[in-house]
Structure 1
Amino acid sequence: MAEIAAGAVVAEQVASTAAYAGAAGYALAKPTNELKVSFTQIAATSPDATSTSFARSNHTFTVMGSKAYLFGGQTSEGKLASNSIHSFSLAKNSDSDYHLAPAIPLGDGGRVPEPRMNHSACAFNSCVAIYGGCDASGYLIDDPSIWLYETEKSVWHAMPTNTAEGPNMRSGAKLFSHGNRFILYGGKGEGGSHLSEVWHFDTVTKMWSQLPSAPVSTSNAAMGGSTLYLIAGNDNLSSNFHYLNTEPGTDHEARQWETITFPTNPLTPGPKSREKGGLLYINTGYGRQYLLYFFGERTSEVTSAEETQGPTHWTDIWSFQLPSSDLSVKAAKTLSEAIQPAKIKDAIRSKVGIDGSGTHTWSEVEVKPPGDILAHEGKVHPGPRSAFGCDVLGDGRSVVLWGGHNAKGECEGDGWIMQIE
């Protein structure tokens, strides 16, 4: 494309002169991983003992368009929530903010998903897809189906799968969709065994196939495009970043996990190990891509006296910068889509010998206070919590979360928008 060719020329010309421009040199040298976040509470409810309570944990909260869908989990009394689905409008000035839909099958006599917790969910076309989970007693749901909730018809149906060659039952797995396929990672199997398998499901052939298993089993997984990302670590000195290209057509023998080990100590700050928190892929535009790693609770593997006497839940938010988008030839409607400024900026830095792109580095996200804190009512921050539901909004840079339990083990019944800048 002409725009890309022009962008490459501009990058080369700027690179050859930037070293002599003080202001430009400063701009290039300035770190890029400096995100800020502001919180807005979108709803707050009081806990109750009913199966339709908004206060719950170990549920899923899936965003589709301008709506979010809450399903499953445990109520504030530790009871299993019903299999009804709650939908919330996230659009401003919406006339219809909330809707409760009982579980109705697509056809007469059809099945609906059982109530469950610790299941996995994601958006798939115009549906909410759910998989796995366990019942009120903690036993795995004996159902291999990927369930689809059709948001336009408010009905459920199960997608046929080749169960004989597919994954075993599990809870706490991560389910992602990309194009016409699903990626399933990890979770816990029978007896609480930790799983690190990665499975691919083709919705056209209705067939499961296995990808290379991950080096670790962790609850911290996210997917951006066709790449699966994992964060794992059991101490305060270092952690590992793992990633795998799941794109179909890639030679299976050549496909393998890549691992980057990074220090997380006072000299090179990074997040403490955690589980049941949030790990989401976001982009801030112009080619910058990050993993947002936030909240959660202390990992059960931590054994040192210093760590076990510290906080059980975290309130911090961290960003891990991914490589900027490639300058590849793709169909684009605008110049900014054809030429990703972040990639050009990083290329210029490399030309002039500046190592400041921030790729594969951690940075703690700064939390901005409310505009008028004196006039603000209620909470201004979600506080320490884990086992909540969360997802990324359509802009790719805002995050919504709901519920979870706090450091006292109490269920929360509120929702929040995290606006990333």
Structure 2
Amino acid sequence: MAEAAGVLYAVEHMIEGGLALAKGIYDPTLPLKATIKPITDVNLPRVHHSVSEVKGRAYIFGGKMDNGQLADNAMHMIILPSSGIESTDYQRLEPTSASPPARYGHSTAVIDDQIYVFGGSDANGLLNEKGKVWVFDTDTNSWSSLDAAVGDVPKPRKWAAATASVQPQPEHQRTDENVAPQLPPDPAKMLPEPLSPVTYGTFILFGGCCEDEERATSELWTFDIASRTWSQLPSPPATHTSDTSPSIAFHNNRLYLVSRNSAHHLDLSFSSPSYTSSQTTGPSPQSPWCHLPSTEKPLPSHPEGSAALCPITTGQGRNYLLHITPNNLSTLQLPSSSTTAASLKDRARDAINKKNATNEYAEVRYFNAEGVMIQEGQKDRALGGRTGFAAAKAEEIDGGCVLVWGGVLDGKVRGDGLMIEVEK
């Protein structure tokens, strides 16, 4: 009897495991669930500003205030709520003589612990800084600037989209390299030397409004940090040229561009200099721009600086881009990471001729902080209509978490934030 019971138990669990496997294969990966939680214990009214996240801290710079005046050039740091900590903390980092002038409509991107800032406008118009890129080091809370080397530079502009890559960077050098082997090597002394800040990576800039142009430009520029050199890459198809709120993101050496209901990507490759050589160049395209499917429904036009694109993950190698606009949160499913549960599921679906959702869009399902679904037509779906906001991926909190700060809603500049947590 005991043996029979054991056999029945094993069979039962094999069936349960098979059902779970089948459910996993057939379970759709879109749409995703988005829970929107307000942050109200810090009041910092801003519009057309920037927000960047580094190590669980949000850095807010520039923009305009609720009286329409230009904000100061201080850096405002907010320690974000994380596991076990429900409240936020705030600190104002006073400007110094090295700080950039106050501005709004500028573009920012993060490379490791540094925040890179370009362009924008002040009360007198576009800032003409001749290709200069400003850098805020979050380790030292200090500013520096990178003047462009000889060559072409982007025109002054505002509302441009920006992203960044840690490539190119030299290979790490072992500390025991080129040392005479008089003694057996000490493993503790063989660690690679860390790369110095502001010596590697690429800042990527797309679009924006220039003073002498009637429409938004479609120019794509890259700034190589090591050589301080700007390079221009091929522009995307003409469908993006009139959009004053483009969004770009960089993921797995692929640049994604989304504007309203059109999406494209461009594969890039980077040079790989040696540690002793700082000679680098900007990325080069591997192929022409490739079109991706449009969103499920055309998005309405929205004011300048009212869109964002953030890479997110729901775990197990499943990757997405979250496209944020005032009244819509959509996810674009990206190719799954190799040798992960997500890639195994995709291969299994392909084997049974079951289409997977790679490169497809879907609007998320909305939930409030209490876990109640927000139905279509109800208030507070997406951003509730706020425009002129800033958004950043919260890398240190959760793979599917994005911070949105400020913006304008019902004619009033908001001083609060929203944490958007996206999950399956």
TM-score by structure 2 length? 0.74
Letter in 2 for 1:199: W
CA contact (8 A) 1:370 1:380 kept: no
Question: What is the distance in 1 between the residues matched to 2:231 and 2:113?
Answer: 24
Distance in structure 2 (CA, Å) of the matches to 1:141 and 1:91? 38
Question: Who is 1:136 aligned against?
Answer: 123
- Name the structure 2 match of 1:324: 336
Distance in 1, matches of 2:225 and 2:72, equals: 28
Counterpart in the other structure of 1:281: 311
Q: Provide the rounded CA distance (Å) in 1 between the counterparts of 2:331 and 2:94.
A: 38
Corresponding residue of 1:114: 101
Name the structure 1 match of 2:345. Answer: 345
The total of aligned residue pairs comes to 346
Asked whether the equivalents of residues 81 and 88 of structure 2 are also in contact (C-alpha less than 8 Å), the reply is: no
Change (3 A) 1:169 1:163: farther
Map 1:35-184 onto structure 2 (within 5 A). Answer: 35-44=32-41, 54-92=44-82, 93=85, 97-105=89-97, 111-162=98-149, 164-179=151-166, 180-184=201-205
The one-letter code sitting in structure 2 at the alignment partner of 1:364 is: E
Asked if 1:290 corresponds to 2:320, the answer is yes
In structure 1, the residue matched to 2:289 is: 257
Change (3 A) 1:253 1:76: closer
Q: Tell me: CA distance 1:70–1:260, structure 2 relative to 1, closer, same or farther (3 Å).
A: same
Cα distance, 1:159 vs structure 2: 1.3
SS at match of 1:165: coil
The answer as to 2:249 corresponding to 1:222 is yes
Q: Deviations over 1:91-120 (max 9, x none)?
A: 444998111112214xxxxx4311100001
CA contact (8 A) 1:87 1:99 kept: yes
TM-fit CA distance, 1:63: 0.3
The answer to whether the 8 A contact 1:57-1:73 is kept is yes
| Kept after mapping to 2: 8 A contact 1:75/1:411 | yes
Q: Which amino acid aligns with 1:158?
A: S
Give the residue type in structure 1 aligned to 2:209.
K
Question: What's 2:367 paired with?
Answer: 368
| AA in 1 matched with 2:162 | L
Match in the other structure for 2:24: 27
Which of the numbers 408, 411, 415 marks the counterpart of 1:409?
Answer: 411
Q: CA deviation at 1:45?
A: 5.6
Please, what TM-score do these two structures have when normalized by structure 1? 0.75
How far apart in 2 are the matches of 1:286 and 1:241?
25
Change over 3 Å in CA distance of 1:199–1:401 after alignment to 2 = same
Q: Deviations over 1:178-217 (max 9, x none)?
A: 1122111111112354111212222112212222112223
- Provide the alpha-carbon RMSD of the alignment: 2.9
Tell me the distance in 2 between the aligned counterparts of 1:172 and 1:162: 24
Question: What is the identity, as a one-letter code, of the residue corresponding to 2:359?
Answer: H
Change in 2 beyond 3 A, CA 1:30/1:95: closer
Deviating more after overlay: 137-146 vs 202-211: 137-146
- Cα gap change, 1:344/1:415 in structure 2, threshold over 3 Å: closer, same or farther? same
- Matched to 1:240, the amino acid is S
Q: Deviations over 1:132-191 (max 9, x none)?
A: 001124434445211011223222110132263222221111222211221111111123
Tell me the amino acid that sits aligned with residue 401 of structure 1. Answer: V
Q: Quick check: 92-101 or 380-389, which moved more?
A: 92-101
User: For residues 272 and 343 of structure 1, what CA distance do their matches in structure 2 show?
Assistant: 34
**What residue number does 2:384 align with?**
383
| TM-superposed deviation, 1:124 | 2.4
1:347-371 deviations in Å (ceiling 9; x for gaps): 111111111x111222221122333
List alignment gaps of at least 5 residues for structure 1: 1-17, 47-53, 106-110, 234-238, 297-313, 328-338, 374-378
* Residues in 2 aligned to 1:253 and 1:63: alpha-carbon distance in whole angstroms: 28
SS in 2 for 1:292: strand
Q: Contact 1:72/1:82 (CA < 8 Å) preserved in 2?
A: yes
Alpha-carbon offset, residue 372 of structure 1? 7.9
Give, in whole Å, the separation in 1 of the partners of 2:86 and 2:308. 27
Distance 2:77 2:110 in 1: 13
Tell me what 2:220 maps to: 198
Q: What code does the residue aligned with 1:323 have? A: P
The alpha-carbon distance between structure 1 residues 258 and 154, as it changes in their structure 2 partners (threshold 3 A), is same
- Pairwise CA distance, 1:44: 4.9
Does structure 2 retain, via aligned residues, the 8 Å contact 1:61–1:68? yes
Larger radius of gyration: 2
Match of 2:210 among 164, 189, 210: 189
Deviation at 1:280, TM superposition (A): 1.5
Corresponding residue of 1:396 = 399
Query: Which ranges of structure 2 fall in alignment gaps of 5 or more residues?
Result: 1-14, 167-200, 272-281, 373-378
- The aligned amino acid for 2:24 is A
